[in-house]
Amino acid sequence: MVQRRQHEGRDLAERAAALGRRTVWLLVDEVLEASVVGSFSAPGIRWRRRLGAGTPAFGGLPSQVGRTALVTGATSGIGLEVAKGLAALGAHVHLVGRDPAKAAAAKAAVRAAGDPEAVVHLADLADPEAVRALADEVAAEAGVLDAMIHAAGNLLPTRTVGPGGTEATVAVHLLAPFLLTELLRPALAGAAPRPSGDRARVVLVTSGGLYTQAFDVRGLDLAPEDYRGALAYARAKRAQLVLTWALASALGPLGASAHAVHPGWVDTPGLRSGLPGFARLLGPWLRRPEEGAEGIVWVATAPEPARCSGRLWLDHRARPAHRLPWTWVPARRSSQARALLAWCAAQPGWSPGPGWSSPI
């Protein structure tokens, strides 16, 4: 009896300590989130990780042995670190990039990280025909996809038209994820159920820039005289979150989920070339690419995101869709999602196929 009481006492003490750690973590997290700079910067994730050690959000991730993942933008920066992180968990990884030399180096890095069979697909995601060919390759080689990570991105100082005739920022951030996900729906549908109950997961890597813009499909493809790289990027990132809502609704009947992840402010080649002034200003406050990738790998594999869909995450916690009141629009999320899918399908060359109709 005495031993039983001692055991119960230790159990209660451990629960109380865990609750205390969780409470402290949540309080610090709220302070960091309110500060914006503290939340998005390197100190944000480091404080969250330090205080959250031992909590479910920052515990070990389940093995991905036997699972297959597709990662776009996987030849550098965040995308490469995501691919390496998934490989380290045992996943078989398909990498997508444009540059053959970078792709070869990335394949070697991912193989060294844990997937000796990692494969590379070369595709320009601004070209709808290249996206279709990519979908055919992946479907033939992978058969089934357990995770699809849309990490490819660009931030261009001048308006650039891609091979398909569409402005490249819109094409890479929105149209390619829309078309690729739709074409690979059968591969996602074939994913086996996980112990957590969910099946495939689709993750879009977005940005804090979305918080500066309201959603309006009419303002996505900026005219040459109105084009500013940062503006086009921020609007595309806002629309990525709406696309996430659309995918969550469309993939729900398959048992699959869709999420968006904000990786924080990360020191990547894309940031240094696209926003050099911003990169110089923040300097040591920028996160390392592996820190930006950490939350993406977590959303793609951890049990908690399996219990929901259509969320925006930063550092292992769901975040609000809006921070500034003037970015909120009165239309329902479902209405915005349908409007975006219709807009994507109406862009020349980007319709999934004849007779395609919105899945939501």
Q: Indicate which residues carry an active-site annotation.
A: 233
Helix (H) or strand (E) holding 278: helix 276-282
Show the tokens assigned to 78: 């965040």
Q: Which residue has the tokens 């990786």?
A: 263
Name the DSSP class of 282.
H
C-beta of residue 267 within 8 angstroms of C-beta of residue 289: yes
How far is it, in rounded angstroms, from Cα 317 to Cα 181?
24
Partners of 202 in the β-ladder:
148, 258
If DSSP codes are grouped into helix, strand and coil, which group holds residue 164?
A: coil
Type of residue numbered 157? P
Spatial CB neighbours of 347, under 8 Å, sequence gap ≥ 6: 166, 170, 175
| φ, ψ of residue 288 in degrees (nearest 5) | -75, 150
Spatial CB neighbours of 148, under 8 Å, sequence gap ≥ 6: 69, 70, 180, 181, 184, 188, 200, 201, 202, 203
| Residue 322 burial (CB count, 10 A) | 16
How far is it, in rounded angstroms, from Cα 212 to Cα 327?
7
- CA–chain centroid gap for 351, Å, is 23
How far is it, in rounded angstroms, from Cα 321 to Cα 10?
41
How far is it, in rounded angstroms, from Cα 152 to Cα 173?
7
How far is it, in rounded angstroms, from Cα 109 to Cα 349?
34
C-beta of residue 229 within 8 angstroms of C-beta of residue 158: yes
